Amino acid sequence: MSQKSPLTYTKRELAGYLTGLAGQNIIYNITATGLAFYFQSVIFLPAIACSLIFALARVWDAINDPMMGTIVDKTRTKWGKCKPYLLFVPGVILITTILPFLNGMYAEPNELHEVALQDPAAYVEFVDSNLVKELDFDGTKYLFVPAGGTWELQKDANGKTLMDADGNIVKTKVMIYTDADKAPVTDNALAETILQEFQSELGFVKKTGAKGALIIAWAAFSYVLWGMTYTIGDIPLWGVTSLMTEDQNDRAKALSLARAVANVGMIGTLFTMIAPAFQGMFKAQGMDEAHSLRMAYITLAVVMTVFATILFQFAGFSVKEKVAPQNEKTYSIKENFQIMFGNKPFRQILISGILRSPIQLLGIVAMTLVMYYFFNNDIGATLFVDGALNTALVLKVVILVIGLFGGMIFFPLSVPALIKKHEKKNMYNFFTAIGAIPFALIFVFFKLSGGNVLTWGGMIVMSVLFFMAGASMGSLNVLQSVMIADCVDYEEYTNGIRPDGVFFSGQSFITKLSAGIASLISGAVYAIVKFSDKNVALLNNALVNGADFKTYNDGKFAAAMFFLISIPPAIGMLLAAIPTWKYALPDKEHTRILDELNAKRNAAETAAE
């Protein structure tokens, strides 16, 4: 009797699965990249609080992910063990993705924030009154007087804050004098600097006591809750790949396409760039710059998450589990931890993935870097100069995006073909070690360019470096998933159990722990250069008043961001090759194991018939 062909997925099932994966990854990127920017640059949480929140979530993930993997492996329904979660969890994730954005502002602007310098020719002789505000700056006391006789913002006939033709609040004009001789400050650059300090010190009110603690607590609670529910969908979504087919080539194909589609889900990172486009509708209602931006982010979070959830739902409707577990015994969380760390090849992948954590900085920092370095935190004003599209800047950004996304999305599609010709272990170590080079060169080139890479030549070089770095990252993601699936086969062959949920919870754990470690690194660097709470607000205001992010604060903020996406990832890539250098599951051995497993399954089915 001829051997039975391996069971595998249909094209329709694969298409539905990939559609769901795209939606799920859009959701992930909205939170993974957009939320960090939202916390720090929109509601102005302290940088150290942001880092601790993300780190706390990762500590909990260390417990939660394997626990969820255990629950998945214990699940037995008519649909299988992964499909039920894909059917019913997306709606829950929809809610928990929106919750972190529904928070108050940790630092709120008051009317003293909305000020601008009076024309020097219009200054009048200083007259002391109860309107005068004092500020010590660099050892000198300065006096601030509203030119219009009031600090209150102008209102229209309906009582709304008055806006100019561009939809911006009409600022209160202010005159600045030295306290010593009551003389006007005539140095315009000095006056602008002093005014920014005035806006930061007197124009923003930090929430203190219970109010401040509640805002930080809600940020922490809602983010941890999102991570828990996301895990409930993520582990079954990846774990089902080893249940959709018995054919290892089809599995490799599905996982490579899945990783490519996951990178397509990075359109969720555009969330940070798109949100300000919604700001105008809230300014029209009389909201100031800070509060209107907050509402714009909340609005887009709802719109994009609903769209992504609809896509996510396709996975639950489409997938079918073809590989039935041969062993009905289930295990406790403690036993599953022992299984995870007792499986040597899986343990090697897990440690390697953790060491590679700093590459997550690219996702965490990238959109903040793009918003500030390329667009001065104002896409509209940067892209449209005097009403005309800034074509040169658009083309330069497109060149960079093609490099990054081309490397991350399209190059990994070649991995299944490469797997047929080369040992997976060798490919994994190659991409890990070689990938460190373009990452390191990103910062080197930034320094060599004098801090300005926005030339045509600079953008081409950066595009090539990002392509190489992205290609390494994308290929490693595919190889990691394929090798974890191999470890599931290895465990079934060795100990008679198939821990798909537990092992793919390891992949989820790697991703989220990596993001937590990366957040700690970024928080530490930001704290060193003081890119935090009121200083971010001060920066934002300076940019509105014409400052250039590339040179602001002597370029320290820009250098910090380029450093974060370059040097730590390069070091992490080099370290990640150490655990897998002598990988314990060669391809030849895995092929033998899988052939024997399929033969056993076929024999069991024949006996049952």
Domain with residue 35: its CATH number is 1.20.1250.20
Residue 103 placed within a domain = yes
Tokens of 458: 């600079």
Q: Print the domain residue range for 377.
A: 11-107+208-584
Place of tokens 């990640």: 576
Answer yes or no: is pLDDT of 429 > 80: yes
**Is the same domain home to 196 and 213?**
no
**Is the same domain home to 92 and 186?**
no
- What pLDDT, in 10s, does the model give residues 576-595? 999 999 999 998 998 898 88
- Final residue before a domain boundary, out of 138, 169, 202: 202
- Does residue 196 contact residue 552 with C-beta atoms inside 8 Å? no
Write down the pLDDT at residue 466: 92
Q: Can you tell me whether residue 146 is helix, strand or coil?
A: strand
Answer yes or no: is pLDDT of 305 > 90: yes
- Final residue before a domain boundary, out of 157, 185, 202: 202
pTM over 0.85: no
* 570/34 Cα distance (integer angstroms): 24
Residue 482 placed within a domain = yes
Pairing, β 204-206 against β 172-178: unpaired
User: Per this entry, what is the length of the chain?
Assistant: 609
Write down the pLDDT at residue 344: 92
Answer yes or no: is pLDDT of 247 > 80: no
Residue 293 placed within a domain = yes
* 449/223 Cα distance (integer angstroms): 38
Residue 521 placed within a domain = yes
* 261/447 Cα distance (integer angstroms): 34
Residue 608 placed within a domain = no
**Is the same domain home to 189 and 215?**
no
Tokens of 510: 């790697």
**Is the same domain home to 389 and 536?**
yes
**Is the same domain home to 389 and 255?**
yes
* 95/98 Cα distance (integer angstroms): 6
* 222/204 Cα distance (integer angstroms): 25
**Using CB atoms within 10 A of its CB, is residue 285 exposed (0-12), middle (13-18) or buried (19+)?**
exposed
Q: What single string gives the DSSP state of each residue in 423-445?
A: -HHHHHHHHHHHHHHHHHHHHHH
**Using CB atoms within 10 A of its CB, is residue 564 exposed (0-12), middle (13-18) or buried (19+)?**
buried
* 112/153 Cα distance (integer angstroms): 9
Tokens of 378: 């104002």
**Is the same domain home to 572 and 560?**
yes
Measured from the Cβ of residue 160, the count of other Cβ atoms closer than 10 Å reads: 13
Measured from the Cβ of residue 115, the count of other Cβ atoms closer than 10 Å reads: 24
pLDDT band at residue 605 under the 50/70/90 scheme: low
| Max avg pLDDT among 69-78, 322-331, 365-374, 464-473 | 464-473
- Does residue 472 contact residue 577 with C-beta atoms inside 8 Å? no
First to last CA, the chain: 14
- Final residue before a domain boundary, out of 177, 202, 227: 202
* 194/143 Cα distance (integer angstroms): 10
Rg, the chain, Cα only: 27
Phi, psi of 184 (to 5 degrees): -65, 145
Q: What rounded mean pLDDT belongs to the chain?
A: 85
The strand pairing partners of 173, in sequence order, are 116
- Does residue 86 contact residue 240 with C-beta atoms inside 8 Å? yes
* 246/9 Cα distance (integer angstroms): 9
- Does residue 177 contact residue 126 with C-beta atoms inside 8 Å? yes
Write down the pLDDT at residue 608: 57
pLDDT band at residue 1 under the 50/70/90 scheme: very low
Q: Which of 525, 352, 335 is nearest to 429 (CA)?
A: 352
C-alpha distances out from residue 460 to 289, 399, 403, 549, Å: 35, 7, 9, 21
**Is the same domain home to 42 and 60?**
yes
**Is the same domain home to 146 and 27?**
no
- What pLDDT, in 10s, does the model give residues 513-569? 787 788 788 888 988 988 876 677 678 777 877 788 999 888 999 999 999 999 999
Q: Which of 504, 527, 568, 479 is nearest to 52 (CA)?
A: 527
Phi, psi of 147 (to 5 degrees): -65, -30
**Is the same domain home to 88 and 117?**
no
Q: Can you tell me whether residue 566 is helix, strand or coil?
A: coil
What angle (nearest 5°) sits at the alpha carbon of residue 56, between those of residues 566 and 331?
Answer: 105
| Max avg pLDDT among 111-120, 255-264, 562-571 | 562-571
- Does residue 141 contact residue 135 with C-beta atoms inside 8 Å? yes
Residue 54 placed within a domain = yes
Average pLDDT of the residues in 232-253: 81
What percent of the chain is modeled with pLDDT above 70?
A: 95
Write down the pLDDT at residue 333: 67
**Is the same domain home to 402 and 428?**
yes
**Is the same domain home to 100 and 168?**
no
**Higher per-residue pLDDT: 329 or 86:** 86
Place of tokens 């996982």: 255
Residue 571 placed within a domain = yes
Average pLDDT of the residues in 448-455: 92
Q: Which of 189, 131, 58 is nearest to 518 (CA)?
A: 58
- Does residue 31 contact residue 198 with C-beta atoms inside 8 Å? no
- Does residue 183 contact residue 142 with C-beta atoms inside 8 Å? no
Which amino acid is present at 145? V
**Higher per-residue pLDDT: 557 or 57:** 557
Residue 1 placed within a domain = no
* 50/48 Cα distance (integer angstroms): 5
Answer yes or no: is pLDDT of 573 > 90: yes
Q: How many domains does the chain have?
A: 2
**Is the same domain home to 226 and 325?**
yes
Answer yes or no: is pLDDT of 319 > 50: yes
The residues, ordered by sequence, that sit 6+ positions from 154 with a Cβ below 8 Å of its Cβ are 161, 162, 170
Tokens of 324: 């039935």
Write down the pLDDT at residue 348: 94
Tokens of 114: 């909305």
pLDDT band at residue 2 under the 50/70/90 scheme: very low
